[in-house]
Amino acid sequence: MNTFLPFTRPTIDDDTIADVIAVLRSGWITSGPKVQALEQALGAYLGGERIIRTMTSATGGLEMALRAFGVQPGDEVIVPALSFAASANVVVRTGATPVFVDVDLRSRNATAQAMAAAITPRTRVLMPVHFSGLACNMDAILTLAQTHGLRVLEDAAHAIGTRYQGRLIGSFGDVASFSFHANKNMTTVEGGALSFADQTLTQAIDQERFHGIRKDTAGNIDVVSAGGKYNLTDVAAAVGIGQLRRLDEFNQTRRALAHHYFSRLSAHLEPDQLPATGDDGHSWHMFAILLPWTQLGFSRDIFIQKMKDQNIGIGIHYPCIPGLTYYRQQGFNPAAYPNAQQIGAQTVTLPLFPAMTVADVDRVCDALLGLIQ
């Protein structure tokens, strides 16, 4: 019997484990020198011209950035209808309103054209999501934002190491929020980072990250806002430093595995059932396909169970956000976003992580094709 193959699994090497042990033995385990070292390393990785702040999650990073932008009740933020719910939840938590736009069926990304049609006098921020590590058309989105005087907050949770026209996501633009959750291309177990160039945001982000505290030169503290608490620990940062050292290697392996999925599945699935191929800049956080359950004669739940019976784990990324109970209760109709609704109803995420082999991809494809043909 084959061992269980999850849809994702982190790769943490012995050197990183040793570094974590050293931090635990050091007596300094919360935010300290390792956090500073990780922020410096991320800044260097992104070209050395960005301000980096780490935090406990990309969700926290998104919310901090919105607050630093001054987003408040009455404002609107344009969000893709297909993403993890956090992309919209953070908007709601600021008191603003998410304005959903549909996504492209292949790339799963929102376009500048769709965003342009959704802009109103209340729009403050555009939030593109680089779905599964495929970069959005950032030139068009940044031009749109400049034309209308808007901020751009990239939900880059899937996109650490992704390149757009040769440039790393997070090395240019307004603000990008990366996720280092355990299932991402690099991890700090839980965590994230903001990358930005606008120095006027720094104070607001720093205060929101740690209780609204401001210190004077003597180290005395004052609290100037009701900030949150999002600071990363040195234990987590030690994991992140080890992961960052291998990020490009991890992403190259992901690309190779994704290309093998295409070689096995392209002859059996319609083009719209497969994700967009992207180019060498795609970091391939996930490999998600669409399957026509009504035509196949069984449900997604049954498919997932049948794959599990063969020791293969399957994910679902993601339901259409306007179709989730909370957002339906707010009056959103998923039918208004047909591509996101179709993707949400048909999507399944196949295993993809750096420790996989080509033989593992073959195993997944053999099992999948055996069920759908």
In tens, the pLDDT along 341-355 reads: 999 999 999 999 999
Q: What is the dihedral of CA 182, 188, 190, 196, to 10 degrees?
A: -120
Annotation says 184 is catalytic: yes
7 located within any domain: no
Which of 245, 266, 299 terminates a domain? The answer is 245
pLDDT in tens, 105-120: 999 999 999 999 999 9
Position 85 scores a pLDDT of: 98
Q: 323 lies in a domain?
A: yes
**What is the distance between the alpha carbons of residues 147 and 370, in angstroms, rounded to a whole number?**
51
Residues 222 and 287 occupy one common structural domain: no
Note down the domain range covering 93: 14-245
Please check whether residues 237 and 286 belong to one and the same domain.
no
Q: Is 117 exposed, middle or buried (0-12, 13-18, 19+ CB in 10 A)?
A: exposed
In this structure, are 237 and 252 located in the same domain? no
In terms of C-beta density within 10 A (0-12 exposed, 13-18 middle, 19 or more buried), how is residue 276 classed?
middle
| Residues 88 and 151 occupy one common structural domain | yes
Bridge partners of 222, per DSSP, are 214
Do 151 and 284 sit in the same domain of this protein?
no
| Residues 142, 77 within the same domain | yes
Does 6 reside within a domain?
no
Q: 13-28: per-residue pLDDT in tens?
A: 999 999 999 999 999 9
Residue owning tokens 């997070």: 170
Is 92 part of a structural domain of the chain?
Answer: yes
The candidate with the shortest Cα–Cα distance to 31, out of 261, 208, 238, is: 238
Of 182, 214, 245, the residue that ends a domain is 245
Q: Residue 112 sits in a domain of what CATH number?
A: 3.40.640.10
Kindly state whether residues 305 and 344 are assigned to the same domain.
Answer: yes
pLDDT attached to residue 138: 98
Q: 248-257 pLDDT, tens per residue?
A: 999 999 999 9
Whether residues 180 and 222 share a domain: the answer is: yes
* Residue tagged active-site, from 184, 229, 306, 308: 184
* Nearest to 108, CA basis, from 262, 286, 369: 286
Residue 368 is part of a domain; what is its CATH number? 3.90.1150.10
pLDDT digits (tens, 9 = 90+) for 43-90: 999 999 999 999 999 999 999 999 999 999 999 999 999 999 999 999
Asked whether residue 3 is domain-assigned, the answer is no
Q: Considering its fold, how many domains does the chain have in total?
A: 2
- Summary mean pLDDT of the chain: 98
Does some domain include residue 23?
Answer: yes
With respect to residue 29, please indicate whether it lies within any of the assigned structural domains: yes
Give the model's confidence band at 315: pLDDT under 50 very low, under 70 low, under 90 confident, else very high. Answer: very high
174 shares its domain with 275: no
Instruction: Answer yes or no: are the C-beta atoms of 245 and 161 closer than 8 Å.
Output: no
Query: Does 251 share its domain with 241?
Result: no
pLDDT band, residue 278 (cuts 50/70/90)? confident
pLDDT reported for residue 279? 84
Q: State the CB neighbour count (10 A cutoff) for residue 308.
A: 12
At residue 271 the predicted structure's pLDDT band, cuts being 50, 70 and 90, is: very high
Transcribe 94-107 into DSSP letters: TT-EEEEE---TTT
Give per-residue pLDDT as tens, 221-267.
999 999 999 999 999 999 999 999 999 999 999 999 999 999 999 99
Q: How far is 219 from 20, CA to CA, in rounded Å?
A: 29
Report how far residue 207's alpha carbon sits from residue 215's, in angstroms, rounded to the nearest whole number: 10
If asked whether residues 238 and 269 sit together in one domain, one would say: no
Please name the residue that has the structure tokens 């070209």.
Answer: 47
CA–CA dist 236, 181 (Å, integer): 11
User: Under the phi-then-psi rule, with left for phi > 0, alpha for psi from -120 to 50, and beta for the rest, what region is 177?
Assistant: beta
Residues 160, 62: one domain? yes
pLDDT at 1 over 80: no
- pLDDT at residue 171 is higher than 80: yes
